[in-house]
Structure 1
Amino acid sequence: MSPLAHSLLRPLRWSERALDAVIAPVVFTAMAALIGVITLQVVSRVFFTAVGWTEEVARFLLIWITFLAATLAFRRGRHIAVTFVVDALPGLPRRLARIAALLAALGFLVALVNIGYEYMQVQSFQKSASLRLSMTWVYAVMPLAAAIMAWYALVDIVALALGEPPVHAEEPAA
């Protein structure tokens, strides 16, 4: 890696790792909470009277887990992709095709940030049935996750433009 590319990419890659270091434990904790809430829901329905808020909390946790885990998958290149044509291309055309794909994804993600924010605003007057929680908080994860994925796409575009592979190409497959 050239010194210039290294100096440009180091803070960008650090920001990706920092976001991952925050998001991964949040997703893990939310999954543990989801398991606990669903267990409480099942046990209370079988042995006692159903606890009303458990279904709503489980639904909201699932929404947040889905979007936040999608950011982790996006950074690691784990979303479904058909890459056999791009992988068959030689060096520069392959890099340009990846940049084009990332630019398309970036455009979609920026649109999703805007649409998600508008949807969040439209739902801001609605309260959840059991918890009376503003639905703004439930749907805030949509623009948040899209913005994080857009950042990851932007970092990958910069890396590819500098001749470096995206971060998921450098990490060993788990």
Structure 2
Amino acid sequence: MSFAQPLLTLLQRTERGLDAIIQPAVFACMAALIGVITLQIVSRVLFTAVGWTEELARFLLVWLTFLGATLAFQRGRHIAVTFLVDALPARLRKLARFVALSVVLALMIALIVIGYRYMQVQSFQKSASLRISMTYVYAVMPFCTAIMAWYTLVDLLETLVHGKPDTPQEPQP
């Protein structure tokens, strides 16, 4: 499968590029969330409460959760019970990994469709305080799920080419 190696290298670079975009976005969401909650607390204690802070904090938390889950997924940090698969012979372990990744990919595709439909259903609705379209709030689900599906495709190709994907590692500073 030497023809697959250049494709795999390109996909891995794309994966690292996505990671380089998502990681600062998670940091920015966290910083904004801290700032908004601080403003909310200070305004309640010292002045009249700023009405939009609670809604913005909620929306930031939703985006932060999905973006953070995407980073955790890419790094292999989600909970996994592998003792049974680890006990299998190498060929069966590879097959089990391939089947598991295929199931994950199917789930991600289903979540993309469900998230997109839900986003469309809610597109007419505006948020109470900020008056922004709820499409922007709900867009995070199909967006992040599509990225996780991409990561799964890369893992599937790595499994086919190498037998197992490279061990997820933290990006080097």
| Change in CA separation of 1:173 and 1:148 when aligned onto 2, cut-off 3 Å | closer
Deviation readout 1:116-172 (Å, 9 max, x if unpaired): 0000000000000000000000000000001000000011001101124324x1537
Q: Distance in 2 between matches of 1:172 and 1:56?
A: 33
| Change in CA separation of 1:3 and 1:170 when aligned onto 2, cut-off 3 Å | farther
Task: Report the residue type matching 2:20 in the other structure.
Answer: A
Q: Distance in 1 between matches of 2:63 and 2:28?
A: 11
Equivalent residue number for residue 6 of structure 1: 5
Number of positions where the alignment pairs a residue of Structure 1 with one of Structure 2: 172
Decide whether the 8 Å contact of 2:112 with 2:142 is kept in 1.
Answer: yes
| Change in CA separation of 1:152 and 1:127 when aligned onto 2, cut-off 3 Å | same
**Displacement of 1:4 after TM fit?**
3.8
Query: Mapping of 1:57-136 within 5 angstroms?
Result: 57-136=56-135
Equivalent residue number for residue 144 of structure 1: 143
Structure 1 residue runs of 5 or longer lacking an equivalent are none
Instruction: Give the superposed CA RMSD.
Output: 1.7
Task: Report the residue type matching 1:69 in the other structure.
Answer: G
**Displacement of 1:47 after TM fit?**
1.3
Q: Distance in 2 between matches of 1:100 and 1:42?
A: 49
Q: Distance in 2 between matches of 1:72 and 1:80?
A: 14
Decide whether the 8 Å contact of 2:76 with 2:168 is kept in 1.
Answer: no
Q: 1:171 aligns with which of 165, 169, 172?
A: 169
- Using the size of structure 1 for normalisation, the TM-score is 0.93
Decide whether the 8 Å contact of 2:123 with 2:135 is kept in 1.
Answer: yes
The structure with the greater share of residues assigned to helix is: 1
Equivalent residue number for residue 17 of structure 1: 16
Query: Mapping of 1:34-53 within 5 angstroms?
Result: 34-53=33-52
Task: Report the residue type matching 1:111 in the other structure.
Answer: A
| Change in CA separation of 1:45 and 1:57 when aligned onto 2, cut-off 3 Å | same
Task: Report the residue type matching 1:68 in the other structure.
Answer: L
% identical equivalent positions: 64
Decide whether the 8 Å contact of 2:72 with 2:78 is kept in 1.
Answer: yes
Task: Report the residue type matching 1:36 in the other structure.
Answer: G
Task: Report the residue type matching 1:94 in the other structure.
Answer: R
Structure 2 residue runs of 5 or longer lacking an equivalent are none
Task: Report the residue type matching 1:163 in the other structure.
Answer: H
Q: Distance in 2 between matches of 1:142 and 1:28?
A: 19
Q: Distance in 1 between matches of 2:107 and 2:36?
A: 34
